[in-house]
Amino acid sequence: MAEIIDGKVFSKEVRDGLKLKLESLFKKTAKRPVLAVVLIGEDPASQVYVKNKIKACAEIGVVSREYIKEASITENELLAIIDDLNNDDDVNGILVQLPLPKGINEKKVINAISPEKDVDGFHPVNIGKVVIGDDTAFMPCTPHGCHELIKKYVPNTDGLHVVVVGRSNIVGKPMANIMVQKNKGANCIVTVCHSASKDISKYTLQADILIAAVGVPEMIKADMVKEGAVVIDVGVNRIPSDEAGKTKLVGDVDFENVSKKVKAISPVPGGVGPVTIAMLMKNTVKAFCIQNGIEE
């Protein structure tokens, strides 16, 4: 049976370290990082995500400012809020919860956030820095979290074959770029599979480290992974449960069967999700330090 990659435990370790760091910094600066969280509309999943992010802020000593707006808000009104936050020297990080309501251009909103306050790591400037290996980048939180888990559970990744299933701008593409860098916990041969791949298993069976981020429930089966691989499951899919009228969360990996074959695997829930929020906190603290000229 595989070792379970416990995102909850790892996330707590990261948050505890950040809390101690911020307590020390507060004694020196009398300042705390400020994260502005913008939520548009009433999407239940987005509300839960925002609640968890605000809770994490309170736990480690980050001040959160909430901007909750109706789905009827116009694009220009939202852009005006972002512009105000960009120009507010007290705000260190800006997070606009995605997805946005129809009629608002997501790309335009992401591009409007100052790269120095883009703690989600979605701005083209930060993505470009990830591609060239610039360590001042704010990495997108989910691939950043996956990378931290890989570093913890795979002592030496040099020359290993990483296969990423999925090519989204939020996970797949930055994940591939992170793992190909000549850095600790990376320096890998990287293959990216997607919907045009005629036989995904041809590639996944070669993976020493398999990262599933495709958004298809339990798509990765046991016969698609090799013995001893490490599997990071990014998928979050809600499907009907065995109990009538109820649902359950599953990943992109058939956890029950794949876990019998691989060396280590992250569960859903309790794997990548908690670490993603921890990386958001890490980026917020990093932004605070950079903006205040503090050596990390």
We report the CATH number of the domain holding residue 158 as 3.40.50.720
What's residue 158's pLDDT? 98
Of 231, 11, 229, 234, the closest CA to residue 142 belongs to 234
Range of the domain at 233: 139-273
Whether residue 245 has pLDDT greater than 90: no
Of 47, 80, 114, which closes a domain? 114
| Residues paired with 233 in a beta bridge | 212
Mean pLDDT of the chain: 96
Contact criterion met (CB below 8 Å) for 295 and 28: no
User: Tokens at residue 242, please?
Assistant: 């065995």
Number of domains, the chain: 2
d(C-alpha 137, C-alpha 86), whole Å: 18
* DSSP 8-class letter at 12: H
> In this predicted model, which residue has the larger pLDDT, 184 or 111?
111
- Name the band, by pLDDT with cuts 50, 70 and 90, for residue 236: very high
Within 5-140, residue ranges assigned H as helices are 7-29, 44-60, 75-86, 106-112, 124-132
Whether residue 134 has pLDDT greater than 90: yes
Mean pLDDT of 43-51: 93
Segment holding 182, helix H or strand E: none
Same domain, 224 and 103: no
User: Tokens at residue 278, please?
Assistant: 């921890």
Q: How many CB atoms lie within 10 A of CB 72?
A: 10
Same domain, 143 and 269: yes
What's residue 166's pLDDT? 97
Mean pLDDT of 233-259: 92
Q: How many CB atoms lie within 10 A of CB 223?
A: 12
Whether residue 296 has pLDDT greater than 80: no
Same domain, 105 and 146: no
Whether residue 163 has pLDDT greater than 80: yes
Same domain, 185 and 260: yes
The amino acid present at 35, given as its one-letter code, is L
Whether residue 283 has pLDDT greater than 80: yes
C-alpha torsion angle, residues 39, 45, 51, 55 (rounded to 10): -130
Same domain, 197 and 102: no
Only one residue has tokens 């860098």, namely 181
Mean pLDDT of 42-60: 95
Would residue 122 count as lying in a domain?
no
Mean pLDDT of 188-207: 96
Backbone angles phi, psi at 183, to 5 degrees: -130, 165
Of 142, 222, 224, 153, the closest CA to residue 4 belongs to 153
CA–CA–CA angle 233, 181, 229 (5° rounding) = 35
What's residue 94's pLDDT? 98
What's residue 164's pLDDT? 98
Whether residue 102 has pLDDT greater than 80: yes
- Record the pTM: 0.95
Would residue 261 count as lying in a domain?
yes
CA–CA–CA angle 21, 94, 139 (5° rounding) = 65
Strands, DSSP E only, in 60-187?
Answer: 63-69, 93-96, 161-165
Catalytic residues: 53, 97, 120
